[in-house]
Amino acid sequence: MANYDVVVIGAGVVGSLTALELSKHNVSVCLVDRFPEPGCGTSKANSAIVHAGYDADPGTAKAALNVRGCGMMEALCGELDVPYLRTGSMVLAFSEEEARKIQALLERGRQNGVKGLEIIGRERVLELEPQVNPEVFAALYAPDAGIVCPYELTVAAAESALDNGVEARFDFPVERLERENGMFRVISKSGEIRAAFVINCAGVYSDLFCGEPSFRIQPRKGEYLILDRKYDGLVHHVLFRTPTKLGKGILAAPTVHGNLLLGPTSEPIEDREDTDTTAKGLGLIRESSKYMLPGLDLRGVITSFAGLRATPSTGDFLIGWSSGQEGLLNAAGIESPGLTSAPAIALKLVELLGERLPLQKKAHFHGRQKVLRMAELSLEEKNKVIRENPAYGRVVCRCECVSEGEIVDAIRRNAGARTVDGVKRRVRAGMGRCQGSFCMPGVLELLSRELGVSQTELTKSGGLSRMLTGTLKGEE
């Protein structure tokens, strides 16, 4: 049975960045996830915002890690070749009362150490964002906020960790942890592995492993609408409403790929697999967005989705050694701003682990190999690439102009794509306006060829999500 110094449960953004940080040290690490690939949990379905850090109460782990993570994000994304944009954000106030509230947010932000915050008046808001409802009073402007591609960040971190010697077990749903002779048995349906230490980054399930009986997660669903790229440039900053007792409200933000994101709603739920969208939720987003951006044409919606916040009963991230289980390190209840905080959480976890496990930096660490994105190349570079490998000249996804070569790369890289959704998240084939209607058969063919499995075995997102039910009658 495989033995490791450390097993990391959960290849979300937190677990993957933690594995990456560990891969810089001389320890044996296994990253496990219940899905066939990294980034299939909350890290694929959120607002993708790098928050500046004025939301959390001063003194909380959230506040400190958010500000620290925000400061790390740009350099990290550069190293990992992941799209990031420092757009700045605005919290819009539509009444005098809201204007007072954003003043309080400003002060809280300053206490948290957020730089550059200022209140800007109506004129300036409308100058920067002409589409905003002219009834706006003022806004809290945060120049350091930004946007990132959360699933590309997660995939890149996991891939880079694997490039540097971390092992991975996918399709490995951990059922329980058992302690035996000072070691953990990490037990799943598909086998078992052993480790001296376990780091729990299991997202919305992280309370089940945390060894803190009083700590509970109450999942909260957030639904979204995504608009076609033809709306690129409609809004330039992340636009929030002033938070109320009910939550942060519906925001509008550009994505790093030029789509417009509207959402999220906030609904407590019991079923931790329930990422269904609802008529009510989508209706609320439409209504609220129409108020914020009155000129918005909602016919440009190309898809909707939902993600689950791992909202902790304590109101704060649970980060540290478990009090109930020896050798267990927790990163539990990582709700928003967990994406922003993730780089700082990873550092913190490795620092804590170092207290009990001697960690030595490796002499050699390989940075992530750059991703070949045809759209980023000059004409000359494209021709060179196509000459060397004609597969880059075959366009498979017409809407996002993705070539066969790019899809094959996404499958062959470490922690590569195994599913139709996995291909979509890595290279955007199927993310465009036709939503894969045209390219899906081609993507199945490439997955089948590269993985050496028949097309009828392939899934949308792992498990029983088979895309096809068989071949035609009489054909084998």
Ligand X SMILES: Cc1cc2nc3c(=O)[nH]c(=O)nc-3n(C[C@H](O)[C@H](O)[C@H](O)COP(=O)(O)OP(=O)(O)OC[C@H]3O[C@@H](n4cnc5c(N)ncnc54)[C@H](O)[C@@H]3O)c2cc1C
Beta bridge partners of 262: 225, 252
Query: Would you say 360 or 437 has its CB closer to another protein?
Result: 437
In angstroms, rounded to a whole number, what is the distance separating the alpha carbons of residues 81 and 44? 18
- Smallest distance from ligand X to CB 183, Å: 18
Query: What are the distances in angstroms from CA 317 to CA 21, 60, 183, 223, 359?
Result: 20, 8, 26, 22, 25
Residues that bind another protein (CB under 8 A): 225-226, 230, 273, 275-279, 281-282, 299, 301-305, 379, 382-383, 386-387, 390-391, 393-395, 398-399, 401, 420, 433-438, 440-441, 445, 455-456, 459-473, 475
| Binding site partner of 40, from ligand X, another protein, none, Cβ cut-off 5-8 A by kind | ligand X
| Binding site partner of 59, from ligand X, another protein, none, Cβ cut-off 5-8 A by kind | none
CA of residue 67 relative to chain centroid, distance: 18
| Binding site partner of 343, from ligand X, another protein, none, Cβ cut-off 5-8 A by kind | none
Query: Would you say 132 or 155 has its CB closer to ligand X?
Result: 155
User: Catalytic: which of 51, 236, 257, 366?
Assistant: 51
Whether 51 is a known active-site residue: answer: yes
Reduce the DSSP state of residue 363 to 3 states and report it: coil
Query: Would you say 213 or 470 has its CB closer to another protein?
Result: 470
Beta bridge partners of 247: 244
Reduce the DSSP state of residue 103 to 3 states and report it: helix
Write out the DSSP string of 310-322: --BTTSS-EEEE-
In the chain the first and final C-alpha atoms are separated, in Å, by 38
Residues that bind ligand X (CB under 6 A): 9-15, 32-35, 40-43, 46-49, 51, 172-174, 201-205, 222, 264, 307-309, 334-340
Query: Would you say 137 or 309 has its CB closer to ligand X?
Result: 309
| Binding site partner of 382, from another protein, ligand X, none, Cβ cut-off 5-8 A by kind | another protein
In angstroms, rounded to a whole number, what is the distance separating the alpha carbons of residues 63 and 260? 27
Query: Would you say 2 or 377 has its CB closer to another protein?
Result: 377
Element spanning 308, H or E: strand 301-309
In angstroms, rounded to a whole number, what is the distance separating the alpha carbons of residues 212 and 316? 14
The DSSP letter of residue 37 is S
Query: What are the distances in angstroms from CA 81 to CA 153, 155, 424, 433?
Result: 9, 11, 17, 25
| Binding site partner of 270, from ligand X, another protein, none, Cβ cut-off 5-8 A by kind | none
The answer to whether 385 and 392 have CB atoms below 8 angstroms apart is yes
Query: What are the distances in angstroms from CA 365 to CA 18, 49, 166, 183?
Result: 15, 29, 12, 28
Task: Tell me the residue type at 367.
Answer: G
In angstroms, rounded to a whole number, what is the distance separating the alpha carbons of residues 455 and 437? 17
Structure tokens at 364: 């050699």
Task: Tell me the residue type at 333.
Answer: G
- Smallest distance from another protein to CB 403, Å: 8
The DSSP letter of residue 356 is T
- Smallest distance from ligand X to CB 386, Å: 16
CA of residue 14 relative to chain centroid, distance: 9
| Binding site partner of 32, from another protein, ligand X, none, Cβ cut-off 5-8 A by kind | ligand X
Task: Tell me the residue type at 98.
Answer: E
- Smallest distance from another protein to CB 456, Å: 7
- Smallest distance from ligand X to CB 32, Å: 5
Residue whose C-alpha is closest to residue 230's, from 288, 289, 287, 301? 301
Query: Would you say 122 or 460 has its CB closer to ligand X?
Result: 460
Task: Please give the backbone phi and psi of residue 468, each rounded to the nearest 5 degrees, phi first.
Answer: -125, 155
| Binding site partner of 93, from ligand X, another protein, none, Cβ cut-off 5-8 A by kind | none
The answer to whether 79 and 17 have CB atoms below 8 angstroms apart is no
- Smallest distance from ligand X to CB 122, Å: 26
- Smallest distance from ligand X to CB 175, Å: 7
Q: CB under 8 Å to 395, separation ≥6 — which residues? A: 401, 402, 403
Query: Would you say 4 or 137 has its CB closer to ligand X?
Result: 4
Query: Would you say 206 or 461 has its CB closer to another protein?
Result: 461
| Binding site partner of 448, from ligand X, another protein, none, Cβ cut-off 5-8 A by kind | none
- Smallest distance from another protein to CB 99, Å: 34
Residues identified as active-site: 51
